[in-house]
């Protein structure tokens, strides 16, 4: 998508079979859909796009011209060029996107908006169907401020997200060496960063209810291990494995965040750094207490009792999230 003065040029690359299904063109989703079928449905395609794509510049709707069809990528994709004319030069642009969600709840629209020196990535899914962008070039201080805000949100989320926090603490309470704590936190960071990035780009997707249920299950499992096991070597591997699930949970939160037009690299990097900073704050607070308390004769029974309570809480979460959502 390119914004220039009062005009927005919007190029869509869509699966030819998805377009065929949306327009009622007969297809078995395998055989190529002929160009002639799309040519015959130009008016229906224009109506379909008009009802599901909406651009509003500074509070006023932009008017779409008839779509231009490009068949060079058939039989795989249909490329559609749309030109929107806005009432005045665009400063803020709100995009509404409802393509294919009635046919496929897992559909995602990934793209980029270019406005002079400004380039911003965006993603739509069944839950995030409208986004607003500033198309003015932000100064360096504004861009830095946006990154700091996203970083702060990452810190806030790990410190206020009770399930993520309990998972981390339950992992840490059996560790007696600082190096172990660092390995656990680092493994967790690497794994959740990986799945967060994959989810952001639409490579990996799981239903939100399943993700939240698995996060609760991860807390319950670690708490159960604290009760029955006596040796805890290699716990960083556990942190890495379950961190993959927690990353999908982080994505569910991050996609709803107003990133102020920050690019995908800035958004993911700042958020992950914020989560890491929050985790290090937890380690800094927990480690001295662990060193002190683990010398007490009552520490092991108390740790197991606390883990049993966490197991009960996480088990309740698991059942609640799985059945209720």
DSSP 150-166: HHHHHHHHHHH-HHHHH
Q: How many domains does the chain have?
A: 2
Both 261 and 160 in a single domain? yes
Give me the pLDDT at residue 20, please.
92
Over 50: is that where the pLDDT of 138 sits?
no
Last residue of a domain, one of 134, 163, 180: 134
Last residue of a domain, one of 104, 134, 164: 134
pLDDT digits (tens, 9 = 90+) for 8-53: 888 899 999 899 999 999 888 888 888 999 999 999 999 999 989 9
Last residue of a domain, one of 85, 102, 134: 134
Both 176 and 305 in a single domain? yes
Both 102 and 238 in a single domain? no
Q: How many CB atoms are located within 10 Å of the residue 56 CB?
A: 18
Both 191 and 258 in a single domain? yes
Q: What is the DSSP letter of 33?
A: P
pLDDT digits (tens, 9 = 90+) for 101-116: 888 888 888 888 877 5
Over 70: is that where the pLDDT of 214 sits?
yes
Both 208 and 119 in a single domain? no
How far lies 288's CA from each of 181, 183, 298, in Å? Answer: 12, 17, 17
Both 164 and 311 in a single domain? yes
Strand partners, 77: 15
Both 126 and 147 in a single domain? no
Q: How far apart are CA 193 and CA 277, in angstroms?
A: 14
Both 246 and 145 in a single domain? yes
Q: How far apart are CA 226 and CA 299, in angstroms?
A: 12
Both 298 and 193 in a single domain? yes
Q: How far apart are CA 30 and CA 36, in angstroms?
A: 17
Give the three-state DSSP class for 324.
coil
Q: How far apart are CA 167 and CA 221, in angstroms?
A: 9
Q: How far apart are CA 323 and CA 325, in angstroms?
A: 6
**Which letter, b or e, does each residue of 279-302 get, where b requires 16 or more Cβ atoms within 10 Å of its Cβ?**
bbebbeebbeebeeeeeeeeeeee
Both 265 and 119 in a single domain? no
**62 is written with which tokens?**
């932009």
Both 232 and 252 in a single domain? yes
Mean pLDDT of the chain: 84
Both 112 and 211 in a single domain? no
Structural domain including 210 reads: 140-323
CA 19 to chain centre: 26
Q: Which residue has the tokens 């656990």?
A: 184
Over 90: is that where the pLDDT of 219 sits?
yes
Q: How far apart are CA 125 and CA 127, in angstroms?
A: 5
Helix (H), strand (E) at residue 313: helix 299-323
| Furthest-apart CA atoms within the chain: distance in Å | 81
pLDDT digits (tens, 9 = 90+) for 73-100: 888 899 998 888 888 888 888 899 999 9
Which pLDDT band holds residue 118 (cuts at 50, 70, 90)? low
Q: How far apart are CA 10 and CA 57, in angstroms?
A: 14
List the one residue out of 32, 15, 28 whose CA is nearest residue 107: 15
Q: What is the DSSP letter of 115?
A: E
Interaxial angle between packed helices 162-172 and 178-200, expressed in degrees from 0 to 180 and rounded to the nearest 10: 150
């Amino acid at each position: 998508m390119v914004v220039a003065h009062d005009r927005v040029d919007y190029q869509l690359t869509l699966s030819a079979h998805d377009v065929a299904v949306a327009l009622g063109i007969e297809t078995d989703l395998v055989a190529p859909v002929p160009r002639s079928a799309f040519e015959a449905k130009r008016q229906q395609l224009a109506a379909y796009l008009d009802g599901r794509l909406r651009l509003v510049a500074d509070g006023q709707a932009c008017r779409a011209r008839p779509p231009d069809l490009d068949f060079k990528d058939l039989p795989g994709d249909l490329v559609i060029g749309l030109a929107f004319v806005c009432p005045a030069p665009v400063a803020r642009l709100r995009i509404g996107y409802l393509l294919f969600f009635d046919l496929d709840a897992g559909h995602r629209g990934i793209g980029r908006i270019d406005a002079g020196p400004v380039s911003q990535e965006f993603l739509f899914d069944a839950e995030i169907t409208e986004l607003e962008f500033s198309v003015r070039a932000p100064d360096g201080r504004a861009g830095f401020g946006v990154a700091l805000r996203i970083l702060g949100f990452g810190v806030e989320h790990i410190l206020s997200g009770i399930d993520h926090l309990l998972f981390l603490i339950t992992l840490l309470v059996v560790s007696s060496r600082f190096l172990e704590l660092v390995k656990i936190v680092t493994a967790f960071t690497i794994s959740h960063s990986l799945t967060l990035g994959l989810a952001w780009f639409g490579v990996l997707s799981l239903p939100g209810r399943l993700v939240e249920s698995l996060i609760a299950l991860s807390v319950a499992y670690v708490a159960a291990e604290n009760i029955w096991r006596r040796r805890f070597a290699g716990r960083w591997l556990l942190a890495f494995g379950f961190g993959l699930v927690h990353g999908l949970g982080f994505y569910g939160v991050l996609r709803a965040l107003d990133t102020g037009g920050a690019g995908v690299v800035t958004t993911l990097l700042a958020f992950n750094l914020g989560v890491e900073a929050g985790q290090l704050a937890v380690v800094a607070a927990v480690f001295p207490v662990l060193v002190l308390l683990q010398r007490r004769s009552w520490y092991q029974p108390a740790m197991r009792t606390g883990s049993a309570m966490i197991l009960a809480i996480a088990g309740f979460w698991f059942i609640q999230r799985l059945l209720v959502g």
